[in-house]
């Protein structure tokens, strides 16, 4: 578990951590299941943003600073994965051509548009959610849930698009039973936190479910178009699920 934690933190955050002593499929699977804990560390930025709003900072400014902190806290890796995935899927229906475009790392029109749209959704949703503690905690749940989607993208039955790379290391490393258990834990913990802030217990469940729907849909799309997942697809899954989860949270808070 120590090596799994080190792999999760080293892969999903920019925080300094000791390298794992070994990496195999067992360690990789556990790291994907521990991803929400790495997300919990990043979610602290959302709580700090709420404190800034309480102190008088405009919610939009606080939301923008939160997104900057999330980007810095991950070295922008997930945004890069989003851009590469969208460019690859938009480039060609030919699998090899799409993978080649994703490998170049250059940001094309589709990738640039995807980053802009996702960040605009994140900004608008966060600005709305930071107006209350229950909204803030739902935003934190969205951050954690977006990291839990890695367990679903890496579950048994979802292949790797390449024979090498991060995708090949983690693809199929998580059983569906453990992915479901992880979702239950994230939803239950998030629900308890939201209830403590005066919110509805089921609101966290809605946010987690929204993130999982995106992850499952992306896994199906990546498998049909690319032959499976890659490291870029994992990053895209985190960013897309976060945007949808945050948007869903605004609907729940307003209900």
In this structure, are residues 13 and 74 in contact, taking their beta carbons and an 8 Å threshold? Answer: yes
Rounded mean pLDDT, 200-213: 95
What global pTM score does this model have?
0.94
The whole-number pLDDT of residue 169 equals 85
Q: What's the mean per-residue pLDDT of the chain?
A: 92
Q: pLDDT at residue 80 above 90?
A: yes
The whole-number pLDDT of residue 96 equals 87
The whole-number pLDDT of residue 1 equals 78
> Residues, the chain, total?
255
In this structure, are residues 59 and 122 in contact, taking their beta carbons and an 8 Å threshold? Answer: no
Closest CA to 39 of 189, 217, 199: 189
Which has more confidence, 136 or 26?
136
**Going by C-beta distance under 8 Å and a sequence separation of 6 or more, which residues neighbour residue 67?**
119, 122, 123, 126
State how far the Cα of 90 lies from the Cα of 253, in Å rounded to an integer: 35
Q: pLDDT at residue 43 above 90?
A: yes
Percentage with pLDDT > 90 across the chain: 68
The whole-number pLDDT of residue 115 equals 96
Q: Could you tell me the two tokens for 144?
A: 């954690």
pLDDT digits (tens, 9 = 90+) for 144-190: 999 999 999 999 999 998 888 777 889 889 999 999 999 999 999 99
CA distances for 97 relative to 81, 90, 103, 115, 162, angstroms: 17, 10, 10, 22, 13
List residues bridging with 174 in a β-sheet.
155
36 alpha-carbon distance from chain centroid: 9
State how far the Cα of 255 lies from the Cα of 144, in Å rounded to an integer: 22
DSSP 58: -
Q: pLDDT at residue 251 above 90?
A: yes
Rounded mean pLDDT, 227-232: 92
The whole-number pLDDT of residue 69 equals 95
The whole-number pLDDT of residue 201 equals 87
pLDDT digits (tens, 9 = 90+) for 46-62: 999 999 999 999 999 99
In this structure, are residues 81 and 236 in contact, taking their beta carbons and an 8 Å threshold? Answer: yes
**Going by C-beta distance under 8 Å and a sequence separation of 6 or more, which residues neighbour residue 27?**
3, 4, 7, 20
* Other beta carbons less than 10 A from residue 72's beta carbon: 11
* Other beta carbons less than 10 A from residue 182's beta carbon: 22
Q: pLDDT at residue 126 above 90?
A: yes
Q: pLDDT at residue 244 above 80?
A: yes
State how far the Cα of 142 lies from the Cα of 138, in Å rounded to an integer: 6
The whole-number pLDDT of residue 141 equals 96
The Cβ-side half-sphere exposure at 57, using a 13 Å CA radius, reads: 16
Q: pLDDT at residue 105 above 80?
A: no
Which has more confidence, 30 or 104?
30
Q: Name the one residue in this structure whose structure tokens are 């890796």.
A: 77
The whole-number pLDDT of residue 224 equals 92
SS3 57: coil
In this structure, are residues 102 and 127 in contact, taking their beta carbons and an 8 Å threshold? Answer: no
Least confident of 69-73, 197-201, 245-249: 197-201
């Amino acid at each position: 578990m120590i090596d799994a934690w080190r792999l999760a933190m080293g892969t999903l955050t920019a925080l300094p951590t000791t390298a794992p002593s070994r990496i195999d499929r067992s360690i990789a699977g556990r790291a994907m299941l521990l991803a929400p804990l790495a997300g919990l560390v990043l979610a602290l930025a959302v709580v700090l943003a709420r404190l800034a709003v309480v102190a008088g900072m405009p919610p939009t400014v606080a939301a923008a600073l939160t997104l900057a902190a999330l980007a810095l806290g991950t070295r922008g890796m997930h945004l890069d994965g989003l851009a590469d995935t969208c460019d690859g899927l938009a480039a060609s229906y030919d699998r090899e051509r799409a993978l080649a475009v994703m490998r170049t790392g250059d940001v094309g029109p589709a990738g640039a548009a995807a980053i802009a749209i996702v960040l605009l959704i994140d900004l608008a949703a966060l600005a709305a959610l930071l107006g209350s503690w229950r909204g803030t905690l739902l935003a934190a749940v969205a951050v954690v849930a977006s990291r839990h989607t890695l367990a679903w993208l890496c579950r048994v039955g979802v292949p790797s698009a390449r024979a090498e790379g991060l995708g090949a290391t983690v693809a199929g490393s998580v059983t569906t039973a453990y992915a479901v258990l992880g979702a239950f834990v994230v939803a239950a913990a998030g629900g308890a936190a939201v209830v403590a802030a005066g919110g509805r217990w089921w609101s966290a469940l809605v946010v987690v479910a929204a993130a999982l729907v995106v992850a499952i849909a992306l896994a199906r799309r990546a498998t049909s178009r690319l032959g499976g997942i890659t490291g870029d697809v994992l990053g895209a899954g985190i960013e897309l699920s976060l945007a949808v989860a945050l948007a869903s949270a605004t609907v729940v808070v307003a209900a």
